[in-house]
Amino acid sequence: MEPICTPQPGKRERTRAAIVNAAITVTARKGLEASSIDDLMTTAGMARGTFYNYFSSREDLLRAVIRHIHLMLIDQVVAFIPPHLPPATTVACMLRGYLKLCLHNREIGRVLIRISGFSPWLGVDDDIRNGFAPLDRALLVLCGDDISFVSGRTYIQGITNTILYHLLQDRLGADKVEELLHLTLRGLGVDEAEVVCSLAAAAEFAAAREFAVASETFQ
């Protein structure tokens, strides 16, 4: 049998990826809006003119950064959440996985804080939307008839990014994270017994996940 060969990205794809990675570094440090294209391309080790061969503006680049992070969350967290879990457990696994991924790659975490208006729950592209579909379905069930999906998503996003901010500043211990996640699920109307079971399952899920880029482990 002939070996299966995985196509390697061409020069254009590698260059575009390098610019996106430079944007992540610069955005994590001081925000994309405070950075010039010269800053970005110096970080990427490329000439300024190269930027416009790949992106029309900094906003265009920011969309590419957000897409990159969406795909990372789908590929490294959502895709590993077992199917057919109770909705509260699915959401708890996502929250735990999200926090752990952001602590393993602190640049990603800082970018998410910088652009906190962006939601990791939904994307514009079909592949992103489909990737987050299991999570969206779980949240819809938890919201029920009393809470709109937009409100539920905004609520979870706000709390999770607040937790992430304090973790990146080393202001929260693991016990406080557990307490805040407990309050988050209770705020969605999940009963006490199910919250306890869901968080226990989510802790096991997060402990088993390993990421390509790691600096610190979130227990």
pLDDT tens per residue, range 61-116: 888 998 899 899 999 999 999 999 999 999 999 999 999 999 999 999 999 888 76
Shared domain for 130 and 203, answered yes or no, is yes
> pLDDT, tens digit, for every residue of 19-29?
999 999 998 88
Task: Determine the pLDDT at residue 106.
Answer: 92
Domain co-membership, 101 together with 166: yes
Record the pTM: 0.85
**Domain finish residue from 10, 35, 55:** 55
- Residue linked to tokens 């006490």: 192
Write the CA distances from 90 to 23, 46, 100, 141, 198, integer angstroms: 31, 42, 15, 11, 8
Residue 219: inside a domain: no
| Residue-number span of the structural domain to which 8 is assigned | 1-55
- Do 203 and 164 have their domain in common? yes
CB 48 within 8 A of CB 41: yes
Q: Are residues 183 and 154 in the same domain?
A: yes
What is the band of 217 on the pLDDT scale with cuts at 50, 70, 90?
Answer: very low
Question: Are 41 and 92 contained in the same domain?
Answer: no
* Same domain? 95 vs 197: yes
What is the C-alpha separation between 178 and 173, in angstroms, rounded? 9
| Count of structural domains, the chain | 2
Those residues whose C-beta lies under 8 Å from the C-beta of residue 4, and which sit 6 or more positions away, are none
Please list, in sequence order, all residues whose beta carbon lies within 8 angstroms of the beta carbon of residue 173, skipping any fewer than 6 positions away: none
Task: Provide the token pair at 138.
Answer: 């779980």
